[in-house]
Structure 1
Amino acid sequence: MSESTTPSPSPAPRPTPPRPGAPRPAAPSPAALAGRATHAPLVPVVAPDAEHDEAEVAAALAYGSVDEERTIAVQDGTQKRPLGTADEGTSEEDALRPFAHAYLDLVSFLDLSERKLAVPGLSQAELNRILEQLRKRLKDPQVVGDVPALRARAAELREKAKGFIQEIETERTAAREAALARRTEFVESIEALVATDPSRISWRSAGETMRQMVPTWKQLQSEDKNLDRATEDALWKRLSAARGAFDRVRKQFFSGLDEQHAEAEKVKEALIVRAEALRESTDWGPTVRSYRELMDEWRAAPRGNRRKDDAQWARFKAAQDTFFTARNADLEASDAEQRENLTVKEALLTEAEALVPVEDVERAAAALRRVQDRWESAGKVPRADIRRVEDRLHAVERAVKQAEDAEWRRTDPRTRERVQGASSQLHAAIAEYEDALAAARDSGDPRRIDEAEKALAARQEWLAVIERSARDLG
C-alpha cells in the first residue's frame, strides 16, 4: 500500500451504536476516562486495581468456568478454550474475576478505538496504528466474557479503519495523477515549443519561457509532492533534453538567418537599381507595369535585417514616388484637357440629336458626317464619361442608318417588282383556297372545313403584309 499521496478531507464517521451482546459499563472505567484525555494514547493503559461494574463483571463471569482439575476456561463460541490453572484453595469466582476484568478492559479499548475512528482527518499512520492494536489485543484474548461479540465488534472497527485508509489512498492516487498531469502538461508545452517551425517562433518570448523553465519546475515540485522519484526524474530528463534541443535550434536558426539577411540585401539592392533607373520615365503605362512587377519581386524577396530592410525600402519607395508624382501631375493636366473636350463633345451631341427623327435623309447624313469629323478632332474625354457620350452618338448614327436603309428599299425597282409579283401570286392562291373552302363546306366534313379556313386565313394575312409594303414603297 502506497503512502506517497496526501488524503483530502472526508466526512467524519459516525460512532457505532452499541452492539447486542456487547455489555457497556454503567460508569466509565479508568480506561474510558483515559480515552477522553487530550492526546490520549490509542491503547489505554488500565490500572491493575481498576474498578468495574459488578453487574457487568457478573455477566462476563457467566462465560467462564473452572473444572475439577482447576483449569480455567472460557466459552468461546461453540468451543471451550482453556486460559490457565487456578490456585488451590481459590474459589471459582476469584479465579475467573481477573479474566472478566480483562474482558471489560477490552470492551473499553474498543469503545476508545470507536471514538478515535469518529475523529475526522486521521492520518494513514494513525489508522494503521489502530489496526495494529486491534490485531494484537484481539488475536488470542485471555479473557472471560462474550469473546465472539468482541471479535465481531473489532472486525467492524477494522473494516471502518480500512475503509478510511482506502479513501486516503484513493485521494492520494487522484492527487498523484493530477500532479503527473500538471507536470506532463508543462513538459509537453516545452517540447511543443521546441518542435515549432523556427521561422514561426517568437524568439524573444520563447527565450523568456526557457529562462523561466527551471523556476516553474521548482514551483511545481513545491506544489506537487505526490510524484515518485522515478517518474519525476523521467520528466526532468525530457525537460532537460528539450532545453538542449532548443539551444541547438536557436543557434542553427540565427546562423541561417544571417545568411538569409545577406542574400536579401543583395536581391533588394538589385531591385533598387532597377527602380531608380525608371524614376524619370515619361512612358507612363509601360513604366507603371514595370513598377508593379518590381513590387511583386520585392514582396517575394527574402526578409533581411530589420534596420537594413527599412533603409532599402525607403530608397526603393523614393524611386517609385518620384515617378508617380510626375505621372500624377501629368494626369491632372490631362484631366483638365479632357474636361474641356467633354464640353465640346456634349455640344456636338446636342447638334447631332437635333437630326432625329430623320426627315431629309441626305441632309441628315451629310450633317452627321460633319459632326463625326469634329468629334474625332475634339480629343479624349474623362474615362467616366466615355461610355455615356459614345452611346448618345451611336443612337443618332443608328437612326440615320435606319432611315437610309428604308429609303433605299423604297426606291429600289427590284424590290418593287418582287412585292408586286408576290401580291399577284397571293391573289391567285387566295381564289383557289376560297374554292377549296366552298367545296369543304359542301362536303360537311368539319376537319376539311377547319383546314381550309386556316389555309385561306394565312394567305390573306400574307397578302395584307405585302400590300402594306407596296404602300410604303409608293
Structure 2
Amino acid sequence: MTTDPWGRVDDDGTVYVRTAEGERAVGSWQAGEPEEALAYFHRKFDELAGQVQLLEQRVKGTDLPPAQAEAGILKLREAITGANAVGDLDSLNNRLQALSEMVGKRREEVKAAREVARGQAKEIKERIVGEAERIAEDATHWKSGGERLRQLVEEWKAAERIDRATEAALWKRLSTARTAFAKRRKAYFSSLDEQRDQVRSAKERIVTEAEELSASTDWNATAAAYRELMRRWKAAGRASREVEDELWNRFKGAQDQFFQARSTVFAERDASFAANADAKELLLVEAEKILPVTDVRAARGQLRALVERWETVGPVPREQRDRLEGGLRKIDDAVRKAEEAEWKRSNPEARARAQDTVNQLRRSIEQLETRLAKAQPGSKQAKEAEEGIAARRSWLEEAERTLAEFS
C-alpha cells in the first residue's frame, strides 16, 4: 500500500483521498505503480486548484457581478465535493468559502450602491419632471421649450431605473407635461394663424387703397394719404413672412409710382421756375438800391413798380421762395419805416401813401383770388395763386396797421 498526506492506494488498487470527513474512494488503478496512480489523481486536484485560483483572480481583480461569481463558486464547490482527485480538497472548499464571503460582502456593497444610485436617480427624475411641468405651464419660447423637453427625455433615459411604481408615476407626469406643452403650443400657433389672417386682410385693404392712389396728381393730399396708410400699416402688426413680403412689395410699388411721378412733375416745375428765380434775383438787387431811403415818395414808387414786375414774373422754386420773398419784405419794411418817419413830418401825405399801398395790395389780392377761382383745384396755377395771396395778405396786414395809425 502506497500513501501520501492527502491519499493512498490500497493493495487492491483502490485510490483514496483524505478529507476532514474521512477517507473517500476516488478511483481504481490497476495498470501501473501506486505512485503513478497518486500522480494522476494529484493532477486532477491541480486542475481544480487552478480553477479556484482563476475564480479568485476574477473576483478580486475585476468587476465580476456577484451573481456570476456565486454561480462560479457553486459550480466549483459541487465539482470539489465529488471530485475524483487527491489533494487538500478541504483547503479548496475553505478558499471557496472565503471567496463566497467576499462575494456576499460585495453583493451588499453593490446593493447599497444601487440603493444610493436609485435614490439619486429618483432625485434626477423628480427634477426632470419638475422642470418639464414648469415648461409645460409657463414656457412661451416654443422652439427652445420643445428642444429642452426632448433633452429632458434623453436625460430620463440615461438615468438609473428606480422602483417600478415610482418610475411609472413620474413617467406619467412627464408624459402629461409634454402633452400639455404640445397642446398649448398648438393653441398658440392656431391663434397666431388667426391673428395673421386678420393682419393679412387689413394690409390687403391698405394695399388696395395704395394702388388706387398711385396714379393721383393731387400731390399734397395724396402724399398725406400715403403717410396715413403707412401709419395704419405699422399699426396692423405682422402677417406671415411670405404674405408680408408680397403685400409690402405691392404697397411700396404703388407708393413709389406716386412719389416718382410727383418728383418728376416737381422737377419739371422747378426747372420752369428757375428762370423766375433768376429774374427775381435781379429785381431784388435792383430793389436793394432803394436803400438807404432818402426820398420816401420816390422809394415807395420805385418799390411799387418793382412789386408789380415781381408779381408778373411768377413763382420760384420752393427752396428759394422764402429767401427771395424775405429779401423783398426787408426792403418793404425799410421803406415803411422811412414812411413812418416821414409821416411824423407830413401826416396827410403819409396817410395817402399808406392808403394807396393798401388799395394796391387789395387789388392784387382780388386779382389773385379771381385767378384762383378760375384755376383747377390742385393745379400749378392754383398753387401759385394761393402762395401769392398768402404773401400779399401778410403785406396787407402790415399796410393796414400803418394806415390805421393815421386814423
TM-score of the pair, normalised by structure 1: 0.43
Which of 1 and 2 has higher RCO (CA within 8 Å, sep 6+)?
A: 1
TM-score of the pair, normalised by structure 2: 0.49
* Greater fraction helix: 2
